[in-house]
Structure 1
Amino acid sequence: MILVIAAFALFLLMGMPVAFAIAGAAAMFFLQNPDLPYTIPAQQTITQTQNFALLAVPLFILAGNLMNHTGLTRRLLGLATTLLGHMRGGLAQASLALSAMMGGVSGSAIADASMQARMLGGEMMARGVSRGFTAAVLSFGSILTPVIPPGIGMILYGTIGQVSIGRLFAAGILPALLLWGALAVAVAVSARRNGWPPERAARAPRREVIGAIGAGLWAILFPVILLVGLRSGFFTPSEIGALAVVYALIIGIVVYRELTRGGFGAAMSDTVADIGAVMLLIAVSAPLSYVMVLERTPETIAGLIVGLPGGLEAVMVAVALAVILAGFVIDATVLIIMLTPILLPLIRSLGGDPVHFGIVFIIAATIGNFTPPVGAAMYSVCSILNCGVPAYSRAAAPLFLAVMLVVLALVFLPDLVLFLPRALI
């Protein structure tokens, strides 16, 4: 197993794409063990792609890309600015609200961060917000996107760990609101310290707020429809994904009438690229997971962690910190796929709730998208805004601290995660 880990690390340092690094590391194990049939990697790879529940992943990706071409995002931005534009650093606060509302639309932190950087980055800097903080808040704000249903990470975790996806969807709402509140406080403190002006002089009148809510109502209803459909038992996760696609088409063609032939083609093209990347990672991770089980890696890790003083909470803190550190160099999707079969049995053996752990795990894994050295959302935003990583990192420190405090709160106060699942599902 040490050879596999060393090969994986070496391949990453060489700049090899993560999917090929995973496949190459697994191949090294089978080459070193000729007694094992060489058909096992092929069988594991093919079997991994035959899970019917995974059908929800491409369907939600397609729905999100379709909604991005319907005018929904523009209407949500108008709603966010109307509600929060009177606060200092108004556009920064609006960007956080937009990320919260976009959680039910895109499901992708990287897509959300890139979209917001193009929409809001220049306007925020024109209003005096520093380039580094602009990039940091647009990047970190997108952590809300995968936590609000239908986050792709929840579907992967639920499918791999045999955890109710409906309960995970419900469990993500309150933690997302806590993340939003913590980031909003960090933005407010920075805005007051630096004297950044509000977007508008006074709070919007009631009539304007009602009009903005009406314009963004269809997007706000999206996660509600998902939860009701799953709670009622009328839809499975895969079927709710198909409903999401139909919903996006109806919004774009019938309601707003802004989904053009070109927009539909662009959405399909983006979807094919996104699905290809995600499904390749899922497929090639299967042989590596087989190797870990064969080498009893989960039991070894469990033995190292179980001895920590403090019980379940101490183990969850240790796991969260380890996942955050791993996220500095490994993509969140990869971490969820690779570590769920290892960590979830450990948490269950200690009496932990898999839904509670899943939300903490997904947030911890997602943090790596916004931190050096390989944060995908960070590099996307910094590239669009022409911002250096050192300036970004300095400005992002209070936002990182805010997220870490929320993670600790979720570990020690599980009812923050489990209240809605218990009430709804």
Structure 2
Amino acid sequence: MAEILFPALFLLMALGLPVAFAMAISVFLALSLGSSYPKIVVVKEMFAGLDSFPLLAVPFFVLAAELMTGGAITHHLLRFASQFVGHLRGGLGHANVISSTLFAGISGSALADAAGPGAMMVRMMEKGGYDRAYAGALTISSAVVGPIIPPSITMIIYAMQDQQVSVVSLFMAGILPGLLITAAMLATNAIMSARRGYRGADTRPGAGEMLRTSAMALPALMLIVLVVGGIRFGIFTPTEASVIAVFYALTCGMFIYRSLRLRDLPEIILRAALVSSAVLLILGAARAFAWVLIIEGIPQDLAATIIGWDLSPVMFLLAVNVLLLLFGLFMDPLPGVLILVPILAPISHALGIDPNHFAIVVIVNLTMGLATPPVGALIFVVSGATQMRPAALVRELPPFFLASIAVLLLLTFIPALSTWLPQVSGL
């Protein structure tokens, strides 16, 4: 079946078919033309891939992010970030990066990060004298932190594929790498701003204004503490945390910021449903795709081959980096996790690599694919939101991509960046 499965998948994706439909159709063709299995297996495996309690967290976290965006959270986070760095050289760019990091702690999604505060920051940076394409590229690169800072939809899916890790341990493991990526983007923006002469605001806000701005942003920032702290201390599960996040976001938008009205809710719920449906379709199709791979024995054969190479743990991680960077050019992170983790994770465990360390390397790697052509979703989200040509954005991406590669290498060679927080947290 594999000789039909992979050519069909690549052909359908080359024709522009969405990845969920490409995977489902390729599985159906493989079963129809290369086996005697009943076709109903495709539907059965797709439903089996969605029949999971932890998976309920995905639509609720998406809805919480939509409610926060509709409830003026983006505006207050931008003002909060700008008051600390807006006066520095490249200050608006720094505010872009910091607001993306803060919003990542609410949305768990790179695409939501880019479409929400990112698109608004592009317009602000352009008015502040920044090149529009540069502002868009910075938004794309800083949004990569979305699935790495907890809560993270990608981490929830990863924990379902590898029983050696938990959602809580991955949430803890992602904090330092996420902050490291933020620092790398800030440094890159500082260097590029110095070269291009991008200046900051003329004056810094007074202490009174900073206190008022911080007070307005505090309810939004507390959501991050509520979700991560509640999960860490066992008050509620990640799925329960996602439901609490929805009610908290609703309360903030309607009663604290008073910018969310009842008549806004149907549109917000519809947007969240569309995003959640797209994610769940990918998960279901990837489960069917992975089933065919297992039936064909491809993971087992590949694992035996790689183990036969007698690679050291570091060389294995470097090989995984190259593989995933190439894979990310053509595939989104979620199907990448669903297809590759069941194959690669057991090998990493056999080599003695810490499961949280390996998980973060994989997640950061695949997430970087969202910002790389030819199918980088972040490029097209920002392009559509700002009415810019994708080619103009791509030309500005290399410095930020190199910074991301530097972070990836640090995460590869220094496991403590991913394992220290889970260890001190008793996870």
Q: TM-score normalised to the size of structure 2?
A: 0.95
AA paired with 1:272?
Answer: A
AA paired with 1:193?
Answer: R
CA distance in 2, matches of 1:76, 1:157: 29
Quote the residue 1:347 is aligned against: 348
Deviates more, 1:224-233 or 1:49-58: 224-233
**Offset at residue 303 of structure 1 (A):** 3.4
Q: 1:48-127 residue pairs with structure 2 within 5 A?
A: 48-127=49-128
Deviates more, 1:54-63 or 1:379-388: 379-388
Q: What is the DSSP-based 3-state SS (H/G/I as helix, E as strand, rest coil) of the residue aligned with 2:107?
A: coil
Quote the residue 2:192 is aligned against: 190
Quote the residue 1:165 is aligned against: 167
Q: What count of residue pairs does the alignment treat as equivalent?
A: 424
Q: 1:318-337 residue pairs with structure 2 within 5 A?
A: 318-337=319-338
AA paired with 1:56?
Answer: A
**Offset at residue 256 of structure 1 (A):** 1.9
CA distance in 1, matches of 2:391, 2:253: 41
Q: Equivalent of 2:182, from 180, 183, 188?
A: 180
CA distance in 1, matches of 2:178, 2:78: 18
Q: What is the DSSP-based 3-state SS (H/G/I as helix, E as strand, rest coil) of the residue aligned with 1:105?
A: helix
Q: What is the DSSP-based 3-state SS (H/G/I as helix, E as strand, rest coil) of the residue aligned with 1:144?
A: coil
Quote the residue 2:136 is aligned against: 135
AA paired with 1:359?
Answer: I
Deviates more, 1:414-423 or 1:189-198: 414-423
Quote the residue 1:368 is aligned against: 369
Quote the residue 1:276 is aligned against: 277
CA distance in 2, matches of 1:398, 1:288: 36
AA paired with 1:32?
Answer: L
**Offset at residue 128 of structure 1 (A):** 2.5
8 Å Cα contact 1:100/1:180 also seen in 2: yes
CA distance in 2, matches of 1:41, 1:385: 39
Q: What is the DSSP-based 3-state SS (H/G/I as helix, E as strand, rest coil) of the residue aligned with 1:239?
A: helix
**Offset at residue 117 of structure 1 (A):** 4.4
1:147 aligns with 2:148: yes
**Offset at residue 38 of structure 1 (A):** 3.2
Quote the residue 1:12 is aligned against: 13
Q: Quick one: percent identity of the two aligned structures?
A: 33
AA paired with 2:333?
Answer: A
Quote the residue 1:290 is aligned against: 291
Unaligned runs of 5+ in 1: none
**Offset at residue 336 of structure 1 (A):** 1.6
Quote the residue 1:210 is aligned against: 211
8 Å Cα contact 2:24/2:42 also seen in 1: no
1:1-26 CA deviation, whole Å, 9 max, x = no partner?
13211111011111111111101111
Quote the residue 1:378 is aligned against: 379
**Offset at residue 190 of structure 1 (A):** 0.4
Quote the residue 2:307 is aligned against: 306
1:413 aligns with 2:414: yes
CA distance in 1, matches of 2:220, 2:301: 45
AA paired with 1:388?
Answer: R
8 Å Cα contact 1:308/1:315 also seen in 2: no
CA distance in 2, matches of 1:133, 1:2: 43
8 Å Cα contact 1:68/1:106 also seen in 2: no
CA distance in 1, matches of 2:35, 2:171: 44
8 Å Cα contact 1:360/1:411 also seen in 2: yes
CA distance in 2, matches of 1:192, 1:170: 35
CA distance in 2, matches of 1:121, 1:252: 24
1:359 aligns with 2:360: yes
Alpha carbons of structure 1 residues 421 and 209: separation in structure 2 relative to 1, 3 Å: farther
CA distance in 2, matches of 1:207, 1:406: 37
CA distance in 1, matches of 2:246, 2:123: 32
Q: What is the DSSP-based 3-state SS (H/G/I as helix, E as strand, rest coil) of the residue aligned with 1:116?
A: helix
CA distance in 2, matches of 1:87, 1:304: 53
- CA-based RMSD of the aligned residues comes to 1.7
Quote the residue 1:252 is aligned against: 253
**Offset at residue 307 of structure 1 (A):** 5.0
AA paired with 1:176?
Answer: G
1:185-204 CA deviation, whole Å, 9 max, x = no partner?
11000000000111x22444
8 Å Cα contact 1:321/1:364 also seen in 2: no
1:3-56 CA deviation, whole Å, 9 max, x = no partner?
211111011111111111101111122113443233322221222211111111
AA paired with 2:188?
Answer: A
CA distance in 2, matches of 1:390, 1:42: 39
CA distance in 2, matches of 1:103, 1:126: 25
Deviates more, 1:206-215 or 1:20-29: 206-215
AA paired with 2:359?
Answer: G
1:387 aligns with 2:388: yes
Alpha carbons of structure 1 residues 321 and 208: separation in structure 2 relative to 1, 3 Å: farther
Alpha carbons of structure 1 residues 38 and 118: separation in structure 2 relative to 1, 3 Å: closer
Alpha carbons of structure 1 residues 37 and 145: separation in structure 2 relative to 1, 3 Å: same
Unaligned runs of 5+ in 2: none
CA distance in 2, matches of 1:413, 1:318: 16
Quote the residue 2:228 is aligned against: 227
Deviates more, 1:29-38 or 1:268-277: 29-38
1:239-269 CA deviation, whole Å, 9 max, x = no partner?
1111111111221222222211232222101
**Offset at residue 309 of structure 1 (A):** 6.6
Q: What is the DSSP-based 3-state SS (H/G/I as helix, E as strand, rest coil) of the residue aligned with 2:374?
A: coil
AA paired with 1:109?
Answer: A
